[in-house]
């Protein structure tokens, strides 16, 4: 294992994060505060509890994952797209590093950034609502799994995108709508049929509800089902990355 090469990539990506540290942390704090003002105050005053959980606390897991999805995809996709854009990708490909080591460096750095933002949002939530985590270790591990999965997904997007505009297409037009429609701010049990059944085809439902279960011990989807769905998505991303390096798709062209 080329730990020096992995550390070099990781350190370079984290240095870019440190240069914009205050901006990178201020934006999620402000955004989270606005969500609590709009959803927690305006909607929460009319819908006090969901499944026995205060509404303000209920939306915390969804808010954390909303930022994790965005940060993971953006950091991982931008991190690998820049070497392709500048042409330095050939230096990385010719370095004595395996595909696994290269991905580990980029995905590890992107996951670290996303986890920091998620923890900042969790701390910010305490300024507005009381939040307790029923299974803290399981919550941290599940959050890490989701973060790594979406970082790998972002890595694939960074390889696929032909320009900086395409980097935003899937996060803005696919991931964000699915997150809002995936029960981040409401229970899918509140939906009437056939929308409740249709919502179950949204993969984000399983991620949000799995994470919510670690907080409150209750969710719309069983934790085992949510964990299996998340693992399946992670496996699909791993398979996609393997295929990219196996074929050289948009890496060697």
Is residue 57 one of the residues assigned to a domain? yes
Q: What's the token pair of residue 88?
A: 């330095």
**pTM of this structure:** 0.91
Is residue 131 one of the residues assigned to a domain? yes
Is residue 253 one of the residues assigned to a domain? no
Q: What's the token pair of residue 201?
A: 């085809």
Is residue 252 one of the residues assigned to a domain? no
Q: Write down the pLDDT at residue 5.
A: 87
Beta-strand pair 53-54/49-50: antiparallel
> Domain total for the chain?
1
Q: Which whole-number Å values give the CA distances from 49 to 9, 56, 58, 129, 163, in the listed order? A: 46, 8, 8, 13, 44
Is residue 36 one of the residues assigned to a domain? yes
In this model, does residue 144 exceed pLDDT 90? yes
**Helical spans, DSSP H, in 59-171:** 60-86, 89-94, 99-125, 136-160, 169-170
What DSSP state is assigned to residue 50?
A: E
Q: Write down the pLDDT at residue 118.
A: 92
At 180-232, the pLDDT tens digits run 888 888 888 888 888 888 999 999 999 999 999 999 998 999 999 999 999 99
Q: How high does pLDDT run on average in the chain? A: 88
Contact status, residue 50 vs residue 186, Cβ threshold 8 Å: yes
Give me the domain span that covers residue 128: 3-247
Q: Write down the pLDDT at residue 37.
A: 77
SS3 49: strand
């Amino acid at each position: 294992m080329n730990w020096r090469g992995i550390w070099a990539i990781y350190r370079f990506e984290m240095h870019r994060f440190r240069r914009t540290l205050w901006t990178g942390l201020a934006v999620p704090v402000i955004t989270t505060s606005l969500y609590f003002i709009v959803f927690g105050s305006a909607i929460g005053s009319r819908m006090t509890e969901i499944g026995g959980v205060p509404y303000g606390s209920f939306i915390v897991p969804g808010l954390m994952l909303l930022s994790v999805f965005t940060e993971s995809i953006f950091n991982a996709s931008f991190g690998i797209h820049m070497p392709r854009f500048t042409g330095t990708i050939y230096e990385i490909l010719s370095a004595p590093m395996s595909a696994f080591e290269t991905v580990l460096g980029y995905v590890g750095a992107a996951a670290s950034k996303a986890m920091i933002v998620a923890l900042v949002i969790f701390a910010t939530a305490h300024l507005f609502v009381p939040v307790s985590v029923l299974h803290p270790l399981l919550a941290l591990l599940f959050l890490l799994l989701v973060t790594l999965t979406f970082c790998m997904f972002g890595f694939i997007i960074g390889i696929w995108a032909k320009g900086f505009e395409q980097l935003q297409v899937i996060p803005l037009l696919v991931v964000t709508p699915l997150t809002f429609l995936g029960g981040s701010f409401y229970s899918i049990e509140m939906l009437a049929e056939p929308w409740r059944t249709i919502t179950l085809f949204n993969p984000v439902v399983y991620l949000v509800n799995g994470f919510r279960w670690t907080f409150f011990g209750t969710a719309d989807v069983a934790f085992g089902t949510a964990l299996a769905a998340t693992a399946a998505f992670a496996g699909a991303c791993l398979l996609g990355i393997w295929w990219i390096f196996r074929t050289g798709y948009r890496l060697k062209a």
